[in-house]
Amino acid sequence: MADQQQSSRCPAGNESPSTPKKRKSPTTLDPYHGFDQPKKKKRGSKTQPPTTYHGEIVSYTQKTMPRDLIKYYRQRHSYFSKYNKGILMDREGWFSVTPESIAEHIAQRCRGDVVVIDAFCGCGGNTIQFALACKQVIAIDIDPVKLHCARHNAKIYGVEDRIEFIQGSFFDLAPYLKADIVFLSPPWGGPAYLHEDMYDLKTMMPGNGKKIFKLAQQITRNVIMFMPRNTDPNQLALLAGKGQCCEIERNYLAGNLKALTVYYGDNLPNWQALDELMAEEQE
């Protein structure tokens, strides 16, 4: 079945249809610091040691993949169509990456001469698609391992020259940034986000979803949030503010609901772009 995106246009306040692994804070701004080249294969040894960066495995195989992440490994080509070209992802990257067709759809809704901040870029699933559709991307991640993977993956897609990678916390960097659109896909607290019937924005890590949204709104009113599929839609609508609209889009992959994307702002939702894109996607 083809990937589908469903949208609901909902006024604020109305009923609408619809912990990341802690790492020591980085001591250097050089995302290549500590890069461990894969060791040369010893004569007679059968298995190649995995590629690591700062001691983290960034290149898993079916054999080295932890059992709890095997379901993600099976979906590898839906995350990156160029997976076989040497895509790198660390453990958290595997269960957080936005599937390529969904990332492409979101980016195409923003396409044009615009600068986009990907405030929590991870291994680059969204960053790469924004770079393919938009003028420039500012890709931020607190974790140097993620930035290393994202930069490497962007090279595979030939878009690294349109991305400025910044290592740091979005909370610290936000007051200094300018852009037309801010995209937010923060950690949801790991795959356990589905344990609750309804995901509460307040439990979003780091901090609180509302706080992250308000910070992004100080950069631009055009904010996109990538959210768990079980998020309370009322909470999402209320973020838009009294009398304001937002759009809650359900993102499907092969018929399975994967996530919600919420569009807020003066230029988003862009209904005309959405209508054009839906027509293109149905062709």
**Which residues contribute to the site for ligand MGP (CB under 6 A)?**
71, 95-99, 185, 187-188, 190-191, 193-194, 226, 256, 258-259
Question: Is 144 an interacting residue with respect to ligand SAH (CB under 6 A)?
Answer: no
When binding is defined by CB under 6 A, the residue of 54, 91, 105, 146 that contacts ligand SAH is 146
Question: Is 123 an interacting residue with respect to ligand SAH (CB under 6 A)?
Answer: yes
Q: How far is the CB of 258 from ligand MGP (least distance, A)?
A: 5
Rounded CA-CA distance 276/283 in Å is 11
Tell me the window of 35-43, 67-75, 166-174, 259-267 that interacts with ligand SAH (CB under 6 A).
Answer: 166-174
Q: Which is nearer to ligand MGP, 76 or 82 (CB)?
A: 76
Q: How far is the CB of 71 from ligand MGP (least distance, A)?
A: 5
- Phi first, then psi: give them for residue 98, nearest 5 degrees: -80, 125
Rounded CA-CA distance 233/253 in Å is 20
Q: Which is nearer to ligand MGP, 83 or 95 (CB)?
A: 95
Q: How far is the CB of 47 from ligand MGP (least distance, A)?
A: 27
Question: Is 206 an interacting residue with respect to ligand SAH (CB under 6 A)?
Answer: yes
Which of the listed partners (ligand MGP, ligand SAH, none) does 13 bind, with a CB threshold of 5 to 8 Å by partner kind? Answer: none
- Phi first, then psi: give them for residue 190, nearest 5 degrees: 85, 180
Which of the listed partners (ligand MGP, ligand SAH, none) does 170 bind, with a CB threshold of 5 to 8 Å by partner kind? Answer: ligand SAH
Q: Which is nearer to ligand SAH, 5 or 96 (CB)?
A: 96
Question: Is 80 an interacting residue with respect to ligand SAH (CB under 6 A)?
Answer: no
Question: Is 90 an interacting residue with respect to ligand SAH (CB under 6 A)?
Answer: no
Which of the listed partners (ligand MGP, ligand SAH, none) does 142 bind, with a CB threshold of 5 to 8 Å by partner kind? Answer: ligand SAH
Q: How far is the CB of 203 from ligand MGP (least distance, A)?
A: 11
Residue-by-residue DSSP string for the chain: ----EEEEEEETTS---------PPPS-S-TTTTEEPPPPPPTT--SPPPPEETTEE----TTTS-GGGHHHHHTHHHH-TTGGGT----HHHHHHPPPHHHHHHHHHTT-EEEEEEETT-TTSHHHHHHHHHEEEEEEEES-HHHHHHHHHHHHHTT-GGGEEEEES-HHHHGGG---SEEEE----SSGGGGGSSSB-GGG-SSS-HHHHHHHHHTT-S-EEEEEETTB-HHHHHHTT-TT-EEEEEEEEETTEEEEEEEEESSS-S-HHHHHHHHHHHH-
Q: Which is nearer to ligand MGP, 12 or 212 (CB)?
A: 212
Using CB under 6 A as the criterion, which residues of the chain lie in contact with ligand SAH when the complex forms? Answer: 20, 92, 96-98, 120-126, 140-143, 146, 169-171, 185-187, 206
